[in-house]
Amino acid sequence: MNETPWATPRDGLESPQIRVQALSVRYGDHAVLDRIDLSVAAGEVVVLLGASGSGKTTLLRAIAGFTAPTGGRIALGATDVTRAPPYARGLGLVVQNYALFPHLRVADNVAFGLRARKLPRAQIERTVARFLEMTGMAAYAQRYPRELSGGQQQRVAIARALAIEPPALLLDEPLSALDAPLRAEMLEELRRLHAQLPNTAIVYVTHDQTEAIAIGHRIVLLHQGRIVADGAPRHLHDAPPNRYTAEFFGQANLLPARILDTPPGADGARGYVAVRIADRTIWARRSADAPASGEVLLCVRPHDLRLDADPAAVSEGNRLDGVVRSSQWLGASQRAVVDIGPATVRVDRPASAPLPAAGARVQVTFAAERAVLLADR
Amino acid sequence: MRAPRGLWRPVVIAVPFAVLGVVFLYPLALLAAEAFANPGGGYGLGTFAAILAGPAFHDALLATLRIALTATAVCLLLGSALALLVRFVAFRGARTLARMVDVYLAFPSFLVALSLTFLYGNSGFVRSLWLSTFGFAAAPAARSFLYGFWGVVLAEVTYYTPFVMRPLLAALEVIDRSQLEVASSLGERPWGVLRRVLIPELVPALIAGGSLCLLLTMNEFGIILVMGVKNVITLPMMIYGKAIDEFDYPAASAVAICNVALSLALYFAYRQALERMPQ
Ligand SMILES: Nc1ncnc2c1ncn2[C@@H]1O[C@H](COP(=O)(O)OP(=O)(O)OP(=O)(O)O)[C@@H](O)[C@H]1O
Ligand SMILES: [Mg+2]
């Protein structure tokens, strides 16, 4: 898993760069955003992740000042900007289709915000040169946008937004118009840029979880206008706080389970909880908001499951009996779908393992620390 | 449909040219022959010299240019304002209004002149209302403003503003709203966004609409004739006067040739301007 091995934000949560409090946006009866609370520290990269229509763009546009909230407050630094027009907010904005000004050359596009501020000519030239250099577009300063490729246009759009040296950069699906290799390159580029501007906060909207993991210090998962999860990518992946997060984020297997009141053995002492699934006792971690008893969901990732071809083998730790329904070789890995009584699970294995035959009886095993219990809602 | 082959091919190509020749080029040639014929026989520039020397042509040319330029300028201002209103100020019926612009283009121009006469003319609605309210003594000058320079400009602006709006609305349709939003996030106020983003991107449409408007107002005839304006003699009115009132066909033809030359010059200037655009 990705450890976000790059600069983490300096601790600035007492005076966050962006603070959104109880923000609501409704159109008629339809609440597009429902009492959103969000703080972004200086230098922090927060990814707004969510399915189509979950309200990501609306939240970003409310922060930028293009969508008037029906409730709540937005503050930038110490200033309340809830009613301030976009031009007074000083935030950098990058949109999906770049929106470069077609009648202006690259250098003039980048200079746009500086000219709006009526800065001295020499200073504008210096700043434009600096940001064109930083984005690798210095050689294209005299070109018109239509003479650039999509990736180059996006670099110019980013340089233009950064040139006003905003406290925060807002990006709405900035890479979705690019093809996969270019997207990976641009993500790397964005991380490098951010390393050079360590105090600039970034709010990055995407519906792509690989992108989210690659760039986010923190991921905020939106679902139907509400925040359903907020945390470091690794944390959301390994300990999803709820069912929606587990399913959206990394296609987890979710098995209905029931917490045992009197767990056998001493595992309980190590912080594990015993549950019953298909007549087997399974040990798992308990997430913060899972109930202490009753029905829960066991969440375990496909690549944390093992298959044992010998159904009679006595293996250490958790095991479930299953029947292979299908299996498929996928190049780098293989995936098996296994029936285990109350549910089916997906199992990802190395490509080199023998492909199990459909109908074969197997044991599905997994470590207790890779399984987490969630509230069933 | 299959492309014509063999023997038919030259015929199929020749027919449209023949029609064009008979209905357009031949009459034009007759006109030119009339204009360039010397009274004593043979061809020369005698008629032109006589026409260009007199004050009548000079005055007519000046009147034509003044009216056309004034009307075009007002059309551009009014048309831009209306187009921006229709596109950016959400109000009920904005779409209908935009569609009505298209229908309006199909109306004949003299209809506008006629309706303005009913409204502001010597016995029009506004004047009758004035007379019945304030009595004859308080009545404004006997002749309405309608029968002078500003009357013609008013009528032409009323009729030709949609010709400016049409290309502007089309251009506004393709301008991406996010460009305007990015401009405003970069710190530009609405007026600055208009000046630095919107207007520069509308320049081709403004040139297209403006030159069309200029071309049409320079050749406008129906409006002035129907309004019965007596003291405003434009080039088309002068041609009409020479031909119909004075039976001076050579002079009428010479003025017409000048008028055509002016229109063509304008047309080529417009093409040049469009080609120099960055897009
Ligand atoms: N102006 C509007 N009027 C009415 N409903 C709107 C308006 N703008 C957005 N919505 C609704 O708000 C919801 C959220 O839209 P939003 O654009 O924020 O979604 P999103 O998360 O950005 O989705 P996507 O990934 O498709 O871009 C949608 O259901 C949308 O239909
Ligand atoms: Mg969106």
Q: Could you read off the pLDDT of B224-275 as tens digits, one per residue?
A: 888 777 778 888 888 888 888 888 888 888 888 888 888 899 888 888 877 7
Ligand 2 centroid to A73 CA: how many Å?
Answer: 21
Inform me whether the pLDDT recorded for A16 exceeds 90: no
Q: What is the pLDDT of residue B140?
A: 57
Residue B34 near chain A (CB below 8 Å): no
A50 lines ligand 1 (CB under 6 A): yes
pLDDT tens, residue by residue, A236-248: 888 888 888 988 8
pLDDT tens, residue by residue, B36-59: 887 777 787 878 888 888 888 888
Q: What is the pLDDT of residue A312?
A: 67
Spell out the alpha helix ranges (H) of chain A: 56-64, 106-116, 121-134, 150-163, 180-196, 209-215, 233-238, 243-248
* Residue range A352-370: mean pLDDT, rounded: 88
Q: Which residues pair with A274 in a beta bridge?
A: A283
* C-beta of residue A170 within 8 angstroms of C-beta of residue A91: yes
Cα dihedral B33, B38, B43, B46 sign: negative
Q: Which residues pair with A272 in a beta bridge?
A: none
Domain map (residue ranges) of chain B: 55-275
Residue B196 near chain A (CB below 8 Å): yes
* Residue range B173-192: mean pLDDT, rounded: 93
pLDDT tens, residue by residue, A89-98: 999 999 999 9
Lowest mean pLDDT among A48-52, A156-160, A315-319, B134-138: B134-138
Q: What is the pLDDT of residue B258?
A: 87
Chain B CA closest to residue A162: B186
The matching CATH number, chosen from 1.10.3720.10, 3.20.20.480, 3.40.50.720, 1.10.10.60, for B55-275 is 1.10.3720.10
Q: What is the pLDDT of residue A3?
A: 42
Q: What is the pLDDT of residue A10?
A: 47
Whose Cα sits closest to atom 11 in ligand 1? Answer: A32
* C-beta of residue B148 within 8 angstroms of C-beta of residue B233: no
Lowest mean pLDDT among A100-104, A165-169, A368-372: A368-372
* Residue range B114-130: mean pLDDT, rounded: 75
Give CA–CA dist A152/A158, Å, rounded: 10
Model confidence band, residue A6 (pLDDT cutoffs 50, 70, 90): very low
pLDDT, mean over chain A: 88
pLDDT tens, residue by residue, A248-294: 887 889 999 988 876 555 555 567 888 888 888 888 888 777 788 88
Query: Could you tell me which residue, B24 or B130, shows the higher pLDDT?
Result: B24
* Residue range B2-6: mean pLDDT, rounded: 63
Give CA–CA dist A87/A31, Å, rounded: 26
- Residue B179 to chain A, least CA–CA distance (Å): 5
Q: What is the DSSP string of A321-360?
A: EEEEEEEEE-SSEEEEEEE-SS-EEEEEEETTSPPPPTT-
Lowest mean pLDDT among A350-364, B47-61, B98-112: B98-112
Q: Which of B210, B235, B190 is nearest to B52 (CA)?
A: B235
Ligand closest in space to the Cα of A55: 1
Inform me whether the pLDDT recorded for B1 exceeds 60: no
Q: What's the 3-state SS for A196-255? A: HCCCCEEEEEECCHHHHHHHCCEEEEEECCEEEEEECHHHHHHCCCCHHHHHHCCCCEEE
Q: What are phi and psi of A222, to 5 degrees?
A: -105, 140
* Residue range B53-67: mean pLDDT, rounded: 88
Burial code of B148-158, b = ≥16 C-beta within 10 A, e = fewer?
Answer: eeebbbbbbbb
Q: Look-up: residue for tokens 């329904």? A: A325
pLDDT tens, residue by residue, B125-177: 777 777 777 766 555 555 667 778 888 888 889 889 998 998 998 898 888 88
Which amino acid would we find at residue A228?
V
Ligand 1 centroid to A61 CA: how many Å?
Answer: 11
* C-beta of residue B207 within 8 angstroms of C-beta of residue B267: no
Radius of gyration in angstroms for the set of CA atoms belonging to chain B, rounded to a whole number: 24
Inform me whether the pLDDT recorded for A2 exceeds 60: no
Query: Could you tell me which residue, A166 or B119, shows the higher pLDDT?
Result: A166
pLDDT, mean over chain B: 83
Q: Between chains, do B188 and A116 touch, taking CB under 8 Å as contact?
A: yes
Q: Is the whole-model pTM more than 0.95?
A: no
- Residue B240 to chain A, least CA–CA distance (Å): 46
Q: What is the pLDDT of residue B266?
A: 86
* Residue range B73-89: mean pLDDT, rounded: 90
H or E segment to which residue B78 belongs: helix B55-88
